[in-house]
Structure 1
Amino acid sequence: MGNLALVTGATSGIGRAFAERLAAGGYDLVVVGRRRDRLAEFVAAHPEVKVKTVAADLSTTAGIEAVAEICATEPLTMLVNNAGVAHYMPLAQLPADKAAELVNVKVLAPTMLSRAVVAGMRERGQGTIINVAGMIAFSGPAPHSQMPRRAVYAGSLAYLVAISQTLSAELEGTGINVQVVCPGVVATEFHERQGLDMSRVPRMTADEVVTASLRGLELGEIVCAPGVEDAGLLDAVFQANLAAFGAQSPELATRYRAV
């Protein structure tokens, strides 16, 4: 049986780069996107591999359920949860429909697709789940003067980091690898669709992000940060998290006791 990968948001940017690289590596593909014309274009450009296209909107219940059904029934060896929307706005300015769209695409869809694919991967004893987040996941402590506020977007990416780490631990010994890839600013259509001009900002290419992710899997990285040279910085963050987690006590901390 050959390798079969499902990639969401596969018609542009990082998702397209993943699909291209996997096709070049001999994977058959299930490519998911909203635009039928771009899905058809991808199929025409890759006659050397089997490509199934799924036109689905992962901000909707119907779209998530349709793709989850494929995850549950096809013998996938890799799932790439890449689909995304930006909606860079402070919470008070973020319209309700855009907030729901963002949470559905970046939180609910990866959760439900991963849930659907895990049983089959466990039964087959192998598989890889890659969640595409971003370094904004680590930006929460930044003051407003340093980082524009985008609470829902940052929170959704932080969720992907946490679920990837804990899911990796849950699946230890099963043959399933879990990774979250956290690039910085990437040269794709992503920002332009939100009306943001990033042309003067130094940016990594989508292909470089994929290179880092796949090499990170070889290195055993659960959190892959393509633009962070010193991996020890990430280790320090996670060790601090564990130290705080392990330092909790049933006794009320002194600073909260009445003077």
Structure 2
Amino acid sequence: MNDLNRLALVTGASSGIGRAFARQLGAAGYDLVVVGRRRDRLDELAAELSDVTVRVVVSDLGTDEGIGRVAEICANEDLSLLVNNAGVSHYMAFTALPAGKATELLHVKVVATTLLAHAAAPGMVARKGGSIINVAGMLGFSGPAPLGHSPGRAIYVGTLAHIIAMSQALDQELGAAGIRVQALCPGLVATEFHERQGMDLSALPRMTAEDLVAGSLRGLELGETVCAPGVEQSELLDAIFRADLAAFQGQSPTLAQRYRT
């Protein structure tokens, strides 16, 4: 990766995918700003990455104050890479999910992802280079999927779909300025994410966080706007986006025949 600067900010860096990003970027020579809620884990990570400069920022992106604190850093530091990775899941039926948890989920995955990118982008444009990786998930494509044994996860799925669509639109908008934007779409990954939900997925095949991050960074080099490291046939993704554009371009001001009596 040949960004103009070598400073990356990673949210959700205290465990799992975020920690793997920090480790691989640190190994590649990036100085880091690592953001999370658990200072002890962030301090351990900083001590581990002793060959680069690591700034620890304890912040809760489920709050306006926490988002504002990190957005200020994004706006004022010469970031070459922003990794919007922080996440909560709150898998629960729509009618059962408490409003407070729904609000936290929307703050972490939608508001924080959007506003941190919004804060970082002007500086990247001025410097004519930089990258933004927004961690979404394959569930962002699962809106029409039958529930099966799941009680529901509509809000979570919606947040991931937002990240995918926003990243695609941002890549179109910022690409001319030399900014690369990626929506990273993990499937099942071996982290603490599901365990914190009380879900034991240890018996299922899962990608390692290290492989996922390696795929993301390679995908960035390949120019992939939507990166799905677990999908071998990339033409499946291409077909989705061609269908999206066909539907978008197939509209007209005339009421479709099927709606006429």
Task: Report the TM-score range of the alignment, normalised by the length of the smaller protein.
Answer: over 0.9
State how far apart, in whole Å, the 2-side matches of 1:234 and 1:131 are: 17
Partner of 1:221 in structure 2? 224
- Aligned mate of 2:68, from 39, 56, 65: 65
Cα deviation 1:1-46 (Å, max 9, x = unaligned):
7400000000100000000000000000000000011111111111
State how far apart, in whole Å, the 2-side matches of 1:133 and 1:184 are: 10
Answer whether contact 1:2 1:28 (CA < 8 A) is retained.
no
State how far apart, in whole Å, the 2-side matches of 1:144 and 1:40 are: 40
Does residue 206 (structure 1) correspond to residue 244 (structure 2)? The answer is no
Does residue 19 (structure 1) correspond to residue 22 (structure 2)? The answer is yes
Answer whether contact 2:125 2:177 (CA < 8 A) is retained.
yes
Answer whether contact 2:5 2:79 (CA < 8 A) is retained.
no
Within 5 Å, which residues of 2 pair with 1:159-198? 159-198=162-201
Does residue 76 (structure 1) correspond to residue 114 (structure 2)? The answer is no
Cα deviation 1:47-84 (Å, max 9, x = unaligned):
21101110000000000000000000000000000000
Q: Mark the runs of 5 or more structure 1 residues left unpaired by the alignment.
A: none
State how far apart, in whole Å, the 2-side matches of 1:83 and 1:151 are: 19
Q: Percent identity?
A: 63
Q: How far 1:144 moved relative to its partner?
A: 2.3
Q: Any idea what SS the aligned residue of 1:184 has?
A: coil
Answer whether contact 2:88 2:105 (CA < 8 A) is retained.
yes
Q: State the one-letter code of the partner of 1:68.
A: A
The 3 A distance-change label for structure 1 pair 2 and 240 is closer
- Aligned mate of 1:136, from 135, 139, 145: 139
The 3 A distance-change label for structure 1 pair 229 and 128 is same
Q: Mark the runs of 5 or more structure 2 residues left unpaired by the alignment.
A: none
Q: How far 1:257 moved relative to its partner?
A: 1.1
Cα deviation 1:75-107 (Å, max 9, x = unaligned):
000000000001111111111111001000000
**TM-score normalised by length of structure 1:** 0.98
**What is the Cα-based RMSD across aligned positions, in Å?**
1.0
Q: How far 1:145 moved relative to its partner?
A: 2.9
State how far apart, in whole Å, the 2-side matches of 1:39 and 1:145 are: 37
Within 5 Å, which residues of 2 pair with 1:99-178? 99-145=102-148, 149-178=152-181
